Chain A
Amino acid sequence: MEMHQIRYFLAVSETLNFTRAADQCHVAQPSLTRAIKLLEEELGGDLLRRERKLTHLTEFGRRMLPLLRQCYESAVSAKQLAAAMKSGDVAPLTVALSHTIDMTLLVQPLAELIRALKGIELIFLRGRPGEVAGHLEKGEADLAVAGPLDETWERLESWPLFTEPFDLVVGPDHRLAGHNAVDLAELRGERFLFRSYCEMTEPFVAHLRTHGLADEARHQMVCEQDVLKLIETNLGIGILPRSRGRGPGLARLEVIGLDLKRTVSLYAVSGRQRSCAAATLVKLLRAADWSLVA
């Protein structure tokens, strides 16, 4: 299929009117009609139903619309990127990260982005899940990387990057430091570092409750660096997603009976103009081999 065929179909699906769609695309109506006909032939089904003055999408057309739009937008961004690289004119890119996302995950894709788009200015925001979603909704961030955002906003687009389990992380002097795995029940009496900012806090607390661990002592924490510091110095233990809390001075154990996983996704807002820097980072993150992380 050809880009212009899809562009004409997208225009008709928006206007539901062949004349207006042709005007919008600056093309004669017979050309637009012919191009869409050819697209329908290639796809093997009618996308549009024309009834006298009314035009609407067929069921097949409704099904194909998001698929064709996705491919079309990807092609448009491919072209824009080539132009942006030549002109060197690149808009700043704002990325919102939840508190639980380790920047290490993004270093290589960001390095590539900066290498390709030399003038690029990056702006990072951090927040709890609701704040991350808010940054996207209000247009304060172009993209976000976070665990589940629990949002029902239909314009929120997401691409799952990887799914990872949660492990117990303890300091080097902790009684469990040499072990590979520990039963959840053995954590009775421990002091938990409570990561209230984590996307998985609610299911985690529910899990502790069902295992009779709801009343364990805890420290309320607001950021990951603080959690890791206290773990390292043996002032508490943490249950962290696998991509977090790696490092010297930290021991990681599988928790038997802890059925807690999270999916880290890339988020964007559909229908909003995506800058070429944003489109490139989306491609880098979606193409990456995350099996190496989780």
Chain B
Amino acid sequence: MTTGSLVEKIETALAEVRVMDAPLAAKLDHVAACVRELSPAFAEAVDRFLDRLRASAAGTGAPKPGDPMPDFLLPDETGRLLGLDAILAEGPVAIVFNRGHWCPYCRINTDAIVAAQNLVADEGRRIVAIMPERQRYSRLLKAESHAGFPILTDTDNGYALALGLVVWVSDEMRAMIAAAGWDIAAYQGNDAWMLPIPATFVVGTDGRITERFVDPDYRKRMAVEDLLAALREAR
């Protein structure tokens, strides 16, 4: 199998799940199963990578419900700086960390959230996505998903690290990702190969976290129903 074809086949799998009438988790599982079938070597490298992250308790230090959400000031995809304070002044918010515009799971997750974005807005709630990529790439994700919410750039993963959410991509994983044709260094504007754990936090207007989802297994995301319920309950 040529390396280029892995990405092409993932694109095919993505197109399939886009029209699937299934919960987010089933769509994510479908793509994960496709990757395993297309490239068992890739899937095994992912398993080893995730085993190590779990063994070293990666992400367990992230803020929990009841904790204050650390403030941020980050540029959105148009270069406009957005701060948490200003966002909370308008109501509770869901803060969604993404790995990048290239990540199939982030793309599916963004699609699923976009499908619920009008409902969220109608209920006076907001969504903000954060990822470590430059605006050129956050714009791509925004355009592809038709997201109505801002996608903020967290340069060098600084805010994600302040939350204990950064992982370093091991050489083995890096080689696989690069071979698939994804140029993380160019997307992020550094060659550190750090990625955030794609966590979701729901934050009330008092700045405290009411619900969170953190899993170093980036193929798992907060169920949209849970996200909606948490946003609805947040004050």
Q: Residues on A close to B: CB < 8 A?
A: 1-3, 6, 38-39, 41-44, 64, 67, 70-79, 81-82, 85-86, 108-109, 112-113, 115-116, 159, 280, 282-284, 286-291
Contact = CB atoms under 8 A, between A and B. Distances in A.
Contacts, number: 119
Contacts of A6: 161
Contact of A287 (B57, B155, B168): B155
Q: Is the interface of A mostly helix, strand, loop or mixed?
A: helix
Nearest to A67: B192
Contact of A42 (B53, B72, B74, B134): B53
Q: Is the interface of B mostly helix, strand, loop or mixed?
A: mixed
Contacts of B57: 38
Interface stretch (B28-36, B75-83, B93-101, B105-113): B75-83
Interface string B63-99: 0000000111111000111010100000000000000
B164 to A, nearest CB: 5
A41 B75 contact: no
Contacts of B194: 67, 71
Nearest to B160: A75
A218 B178 CA distance: 49
A245 to B, nearest CB: 24
B192 A71 contact: yes
A71 B190 CA distance: 10
Given A287-B79, A289-B134, A289-B139, A1 B167 contact: yes
Contact of A286 (B70, B134, B168): B134
A71 B161 contact: yes
Interface string B27-57: 0000000000000000000000000110111
A70 B156 contact: yes
Nearest to B139: A289
13 contacts: A1-B58, A1-B166, A1-B167, A1-B168, A2-B61, A43-B168, A44-B52, A67-B168, A67-B193, A283-B75, A284-B75, A284-B79, A290-B136
